[in-house]
Amino acid sequence: MNDKENRIDPLSDQEAKEMWQDILSRIRIHEAKKRKTKVIQFSCAIAATILLLIGGILTYRLYLSPDVYYAMENSIMITLKDGSQITLSKGARLTVEKSFPSDTRDVILEGDALFKITKSKEHPFIVHGNGYRTKVLGTVFKITQTEKTFNVDLYEGKVQVVKNETPKEVFVLHPEETFSNMGSPRVVTISATNKETKKVKSATATLSFTNMPLLEAVTIVEKTYGIKINYPADQATSVISVNMENTTADNMVKFIAAQLDLNSKKNNEKTFELEE
C-alpha cells in the first residue's frame, strides 16, 4: 500500500478555526433549542396553573361563595329563595350562604333590617347578629344594633332570642314586645314595643342581669318602665341580680329593695323610693 495515499494532511490554521467555529455554532443552536423547549414547557405549566386558579375562583364564586347584600346609600329590599323579604337599612349588610335554604335558614346581619319571614316549621330562620341569634319559624320583626346595643321589635308571630355566650338561656318574644340589652351584654329586657304615635312604657316586663351595681340596675329599670327610683347614695355600688319574667314596676322595685335590705315606697305612679 502506498503510504502517501494513507497519509492525512494536517489542517491549516484557517481550516481548524473554521471547523471549531462550526462546532461552537452547532452547540449554541442545540442549547438554544433546549432553552426554547424549557421555556415553552414552563410557559405551558404557568398557563395551566392560571387556568386552574381562574376555574377555582369562578367555581367558588358560583357555587360556594356566600351572597352579600349591602345597602350602601339607601335602604334596599331583598327577596330570598324561600320567599322571605328583608329590608336593609342604609349601611346594613346581609350575608347569605349558597346552601340557603337548608335545614336551617341562616343569615348574618350587620346593621339594621326589617324581616318578613316565610313560614316553615321544618326550616327555622336564624339571624346571626351582634353577639345574639334570633330564631323564628315565620314572622315579622325588626333588628336594630350598634357596636354595643342589640334590639328586636316583634310585630307578628313569635321569636326566640339567644345570646351566643349563654346559648341555654332562651328569651321568647310575643307580638308588640321588644328585646333589648340596653347597651350591655350583661342585660336582658323584654318590654312593650314603643309606638311611633305614643311612647307608652311597659306595664310588665322581663328583666335579667347578674351582679350589677345598683346605679346601673336602676337606670335599666327606669328606662324599661318609664319610672324614677330614688335610693340612698351610699348604696350606688351595691351589687344586685335580677331574673324576673312579666313583672310590674312595683314588684321589681320591691324585689330590688329586698336584696339590699331596704324599704320601698311608691310616691306616685312614676316615682319610687328605696329607704333604709
Q: CA-based Rg of the chain, rounded to a whole angstrom?
A: 38
This model's pTM is above 0.85: no
Q: Could you state, in order of their start, the residue ranges of all structural domains in the chain?
A: 11-63, 66-168, 182-276
Class of domain 66-168: mainly beta
d(CA 94, CA 73): 15
User: In angstroms, rounded to a whole number, what is the distance separating the alpha carbons of residues 78 and 93?
Assistant: 11
Tens digits of residue pLDDT in 88-147: 999 999 999 887 877 889 999 999 999 999 998 888 999 999 999 999 988 999 999 998
Do 159 and 141 touch, CB atoms closer than 8 A? yes
pLDDT tens column, 47-91: 666 666 665 555 545 455 788 999 988 999 999 988 999 999 999
Rounded Cα distance between 247 and 136, Å, is 25
The class of domain 182-276 in CATH terms is alpha beta
Domains 66-168 and 182-276 share a fold: no
Alpha helices in the chain (DSSP H): 3-6, 13-59, 214-225, 249-259
DSSP H or E run through 108: strand 105-110
CB 106 within 8 A of CB 126: yes
Q: How far is CA 170 from CA 18, 131, 146, 208, in A?
A: 96, 14, 21, 12
